[in-house]
Amino acid sequence: MFAALIRWLDERLKLEGLIAPLRHKTVPTHRLSYWYFFGGITLFLFIIQVLTGILLLLYYRPGANEAFESVQYIMTRVQFGWLIRSIHSWSANLMIFTAFVHMFSVVFLKAYRKPRELTWVTGVILLFLVMGFGFSGYLLPWNTLAFFATKVGTEIAGQVPFIGRPIMIFLRGGEEVTGATLTRFFGFHVAVLPGIVTVLIAIHLFLVQRLGMSVPPKVEAHWNAHPPEKREMRFFPNFLLRELMAWYVAMGALGALAALFPWNLGVKADPFISAPAGIKPEWYFLFMFQTLKLIPSKVWIIDGEVLGVLGCSLAGLLWLLLPFFESDKTPRTKVWITGLTIFALVYVIGMTVYGYVAN
């Protein structure tokens, strides 16, 4: 029956022609191959985000007077609404986590090297956009924590010299965080960002498909020295079935988190109360937030916060351009980049943990 259906579709859509390149595509098999799965898991979680986001849109109402109540309605009255909202929230966090893991695995496996510089650049931009998804989506339930986190976050953006204030006013839709900010963030979250991210994912996947999977330099060198030891598996169906297993594991973890730890709704935002003590951003912004907190208010003649924002922006830019600093001709640069990458990972984890334990 299934085979007949496939045959019927193949006669009309020429599926074999589409699948044929996939049948020829191979994936290197080595002791570090499992890191390849994280990109796929991130894509899977993005698909989950799109699907659950569409379902949430059926009931969500953007507006300072309705947003909180509509999410409350979704969680208490809509059949399986709690599950959809909880999966959407957990999946967002897991997606950012797996994107970080994917990115650092790419760095440590040196997968960004020539000719994959553009794959790296699109990937890093995707990570920034995904964090933008997190920032804009966090405000949508219009609860107290989200309100003040947005206030602090947009204030930090406002510290950028010259263009900071116009950016802040653009993000907020005015001088203060109000219902106008919520409407604006909703627009970014459900229209602007998904559009850009979909295009970039398409480019990213096209590049992965076009250039194939990267092999770590040491493995590559070993294979070049011992060609019989080179191992590969077919992308379709062998690797794809394994990737499917990884997606199932991710789905199980996501379901368990959503069911056992439903995402909290919090208390409705009140712009007239003072910010809760010890307010912190979401975990993926915590390392930057903690960095800004540790910088003195004045460094020489420069405002500490301005210096922090500029420093973070510069670090982000350098990170984006990472492949262009590495050249095959200068091995010392490679060592430097590996050292800096280890430092970056330790710094991000260390500052995040410090941000959680610090008052």
- State how far the Cα of 340 lies from the Cα of 288, in Å rounded to an integer: 17
- State how far the Cα of 273 lies from the Cα of 174, in Å rounded to an integer: 19
125 or 246: CB nearest another protein: 246
At closest approach, how far in Å is the CB of 72 from another protein? 7
87 or 95: CB nearest another protein: 87
Short-list 342, 109, 323, CA closest to 214: 109
At closest approach, how far in Å is the CB of 88 from another protein? 15
At closest approach, how far in Å is the CB of 13 from another protein? 24
At closest approach, how far in Å is the CB of 96 from another protein? 21
- 268 forms bridges with which residues in the sheet? 143
90 or 120: CB nearest another protein: 90
65 or 327: CB nearest another protein: 65
213 or 254: CB nearest another protein: 254
Task: Output b/e per residue, 121-132; b: 16+ Cβ within 10 A.
Answer: bbbbbbbebbbb
At closest approach, how far in Å is the CB of 87 from another protein? 12
Give the containing element (helix H, strand E) for 119: helix 117-139
**197 torsion bin: left (phi>0), alpha (psi -120 to 50), beta (else):** alpha
At closest approach, how far in Å is the CB of 251 from another protein? 6
* Geometric angle at alpha carbon 50, from 47 and 56, rounded to 5°: 140
118 or 246: CB nearest another protein: 246
156 or 257: CB nearest another protein: 257
- State how far the Cα of 154 lies from the Cα of 58, in Å rounded to an integer: 28
At closest approach, how far in Å is the CB of 37 from another protein? 14
- State how far the Cα of 244 lies from the Cα of 249, in Å rounded to an integer: 9
145 or 193: CB nearest another protein: 145
- State how far the Cα of 37 lies from the Cα of 40, in Å rounded to an integer: 5
At closest approach, how far in Å is the CB of 26 from another protein? 14
Cβ partners under 8 Å of residue 57, min gap 6: 190
- State how far the Cα of 181 lies from the Cα of 321, in Å rounded to an integer: 32
- State how far the Cα of 250 lies from the Cα of 283, in Å rounded to an integer: 20
149, 282 Cβ separation under 8 angstroms: yes
100 or 247: CB nearest another protein: 247
**Tokens standing for residue 206:** 């096209």
Tell me which residues touch another protein (CB under 8 A).
72, 75-76, 82-83, 237-238, 241-242, 244-245, 248-249, 251-252, 255-256, 259-262, 264-265, 267
At closest approach, how far in Å is the CB of 14 from another protein? 24
